[in-house]
Amino acid sequence: MSSLKKFIFTKPSQVLVDVFIFGLSWVAAFCVRFEGLPRGSSLDQMIILVVYVVIARVLLFYMFSVYSIVWRYISIRDGLLILRATSPLTLLMLVARYLAPSSVAILRVPTSIIIIEFLLVVLGTSGARMVRRLIVELEDREKRRYRNGAPKQRNVLLIGAGDAGNTILKELQQRADLGLEPVGFVDDNPWKKGKHLQGVRVLGEVSEIPQFAKKHRIDEAIITIANASSRDIRRIVDVCQGADLKVRIVPGLFEMLDEKVKITKVREINIDDLLGRSVFHLAEHLPEVSAYYRGKRVLVTGAGGSIGSELCRQLAAMGPAEIVLLDKDENSVFEIDNDLKAGDGNGVKIHPVIANIKNGDRLKLIFERYRPEVVFHAAAHKHVPLMELNVAEAVLNNVLGTINVVETAAAAGVERFIFVSTDKAVNPTSVMGATKKLGEIVVQMCAKRHGTKFSCVRFGNVLGSRGSVVPLFKKQIERGGPVTVTHPEMRRYFMSIAEAVHLIIQAGTLGEQGEIFVLDMGQPIRIVDMVKTLIRLSGHDEDDVEIRYTGVRPGEKLYEEILIDEERTKSTKFEKIFIAPPVETLNGRAADGIQEIIDAASAGDAARVEEGLLGMGIGFHRETTKP
Is there a contact between 510 and 571 (Cβ–Cβ < 8 Å)? no
pLDDT over threshold 60, residue 158: yes
With both helix axes pointing from N to C terminus, report the angle between 606-614 and 588-602 in degrees, rounded to the nearest 10.
Answer: 170
Q: Which of left, alpha, beta for 36 (phi over 0: left; psi -120 to 50: alpha)?
A: left
User: b/e string for 376-385 if b means 16 or more Cβ within 10 A?
Assistant: bbbbbbbbbe
Is there a contact between 524 and 492 (Cβ–Cβ < 8 Å)? yes
Residue-wise pLDDT tens digits, 248-258: 888 766 565 54
d(CA 243, CA 220): 10
In this predicted model, which residue has the larger pLDDT, 600 or 464? 600
pLDDT, mean of residues 5-21: 72
Residue-wise pLDDT tens digits, 230-246: 788 888 888 888 888 88
pLDDT over threshold 70, residue 597: yes
Quote the pLDDT of residue 71: 60
Quote the pLDDT of residue 143: 56
pLDDT over threshold 70, residue 66: yes
Residue-wise pLDDT tens digits, 322-365: 999 999 999 999 999 998 888 655 678 999 999 999 999 999 99
Quote the pLDDT of residue 4: 43
Residue-wise pLDDT tens digits, 409-466: 999 999 999 999 988 888 888 899 899 999 998 998 888 788 889 999 988 777 766 6
Average pLDDT of the chain? 81
Alpha helices in 294-359 (DSSP H): 306-316, 330-342
Alpha helices in 564-617 (DSSP H): 588-602, 606-614
Does this model's pTM top 0.75? My answer is no
Quote the pLDDT of residue 70: 65
Quote the pLDDT of residue 465: 65
**Looking at the DSSP assignment, which residues form a beta bridge with residue 419?**
377, 456
Quote the pLDDT of residue 7: 46
Is there a contact between 375 and 416 (Cβ–Cβ < 8 Å)? yes
Residue-wise pLDDT tens digits, 547-594: 888 887 776 667 666 555 554 678 788 877 888 765 544 444 666 788
In this predicted model, which residue has the larger pLDDT, 383 or 147? 383
Quote the pLDDT of residue 566: 52
CB atoms closer than 10 angstroms to residue 480: 11
pLDDT, mean of residues 464-470: 66
pLDDT over threshold 80, residue 136: no
Quote the pLDDT of residue 616: 84
Q: Which of left, alpha, beta for 160 (phi over 0: left; psi -120 to 50: alpha)?
A: left
d(CA 494, CA 534): 14
Residue-wise pLDDT tens digits, 473-505: 878 888 887 888 888 887 777 777 888 888 899
pLDDT over threshold 80, residue 279: no
For residue 260, what pLDDT band results from cuts at 50, 70 and 90? low
d(CA 518, CA 423): 8
pLDDT over threshold 90, residue 297: yes
Tell me the domains of the chain and their CATH numbers.
Answer: 2-147 (no CATH), 154-269 (3.40.50.720), 282-614 (3.40.50.720)
